[in-house]
Structure 1
Amino acid sequence: MSPRMSAGARRELAVRAAMAEFAHGGYDGTSTWTIARRIGVSQPYMFRLFPSKHALFLAAAERCFDDIEHRLAEAARGLRGRDAMAAMERAYLRLPREEPALPRLQLGIHAVAVRDEEIAALGRIRWARLWRLVGDLSGEGPDAVARFMADGLLVNVMTAFGAPLGPDLPRAMAAWSEGLRGGDPDRPPT
């Protein structure tokens, strides 16, 4: 018989499950019942862990930003300048393959923020913090940070559309978009 899991451990499981489920189904398409079932608890118990679906989404959004910040900090460890920026770019490009829920959930956070002021406020705070982190870790100025953040959003969008990613993001995007001339993703570029 396994030992009982603490409420804190169950909360952690719930947040991780919520991240995956919200990344897959979005806010509106994900039920707390689905998340509860995924971690093996009842829906009433889920509401003891989080008072509402909204509170669970906020926790998942916070953790999404935490995980991305951790990934970037690990990538830049011991590096500065362009080397740190390049390491963070490579780490972010690996997200769709290694942790696909993160870029998908980021898009979901953006979508919900359009209509939900609390999510928008969280997004503003965490986006600003992410901006400062990239600048602090690299020592690069606003132009380089803006390019990094813009490329990150492009990675998220390309991931959502199933576009191929490569180390040279602009060329990967250009080749993919040329392949879609006339709406046929399999049509070779003209």
Structure 2
Amino acid sequence: MTRMSADERRESVIRAALHEFARGGYHGTSTEAIARRVGVSQPYLFRLFPNKQAIFLAAATRCMARTREVFADAVEGLEGEAAQDAMANAYTQLIADDPDILQMQLQTYVAVAAAEAAGEHEFGEMVRTGWLELWDTVHVPLGADEKETAQFMAFGMLINTLAAMGFKPDHAIWEGLFPAARAKGRLEK
């Protein structure tokens, strides 16, 4: 058995944290559960990350980065409506293939709202920075049009909400929402 380097352990902590936080949220997830999933002690976990918030932020950052990567890959060489369709289809495939991505996004929004309400603005600022990078990833392929970008992101949030509520791919509520993805069965779990 080969020993993992600190970077490899850090990576495994981020993956485990994304899974655990996606399921339990910031306040409902213990660092003990994350350490157990990785197979390390809690003290070792805190040698890799200074605190629970840093672990959560690393997981949230990974989630946003993965979504940006999917969008960027989908639009390579495309623009306008073709880019919009490609990103929509790629996103619906992402959340169907990896439900933790969707759940982590939703948990991140809840955690930011709670932190803001508690006066902890730095955490929200870090998450908003990542979200703005996601916006920029979408914005350029859509012709740098604010209205198109806002509409695309609004549809994405609607998809997040409907998927999180468990609406099945064949439900009538999906009609009109990215029919190409639906026709190909990409909303199936």
**TM-score bracket for this pair, using the shorter chain length:** 0.7 to 0.9
Runs of 4+ deviating beyond 6 Å: none
SS at match of 2:58: helix
2:95 equivalent to 1:96: yes
Counterpart of 2:2 in structure 1 is: 3
Instruction: Give the whole-Å Cα distance in 1 for the aligned partners of 2:176 and 2:107.
Output: 24
Comparing 47-56 with 110-119, greater Cα deviation is found at 110-119
Unaligned regions of 5+ residues in structure 2, if any? 116-120, 178-189
Could you say if the C-alpha distance between residues 7 and 162 of structure 1 is closer, same or farther in structure 2, counting changes exceeding 3 Å? same
Tell me by how many angstroms 1:135 deviates. Answer: 1.3
Q: RCO greater where, 1 or 2, for CA within 8 Å and sep 6 or more?
A: 2
Aligned residues: 172
Comparing 17-26 with 94-103, greater Cα deviation is found at 94-103
Counterpart of 1:118 in structure 2 is: 122
Counterpart of 2:86 in structure 1 is: 87
Comparing 117-126 with 20-29, greater Cα deviation is found at 117-126
Could you say if the C-alpha distance between residues 156 and 145 of structure 1 is closer, same or farther in structure 2, counting changes exceeding 3 Å? same
Counterpart of 1:131 in structure 2 is: 135
Unaligned regions of 5+ residues in structure 1, if any? 174-190
Tell me by how many angstroms 1:112 deviates. Answer: 0.8
Tell me by how many angstroms 1:139 deviates. Answer: 2.2
- The answer as to whether partners of 2:142 and 2:148 remain within 8 angstroms in 1 is no
Counterpart of 2:118 in structure 1 is: none
Root-mean-square deviation (CA), in Å? 2.0
% identity of equivalent residues:
43
- The answer as to whether partners of 1:82 and 1:140 remain within 8 angstroms in 2 is no
Counterpart of 1:47 in structure 2 is: 46
1:67-116: CA deviation from partner (whole Å, max 9, x where unpaired): 00001111111211110111001111122211111111111111011122
Instruction: Give the whole-Å Cα distance in 1 for the aligned partners of 2:111 and 2:101.
Output: 15
In our comparison, the structure showing a higher alpha carbon Rg is 1
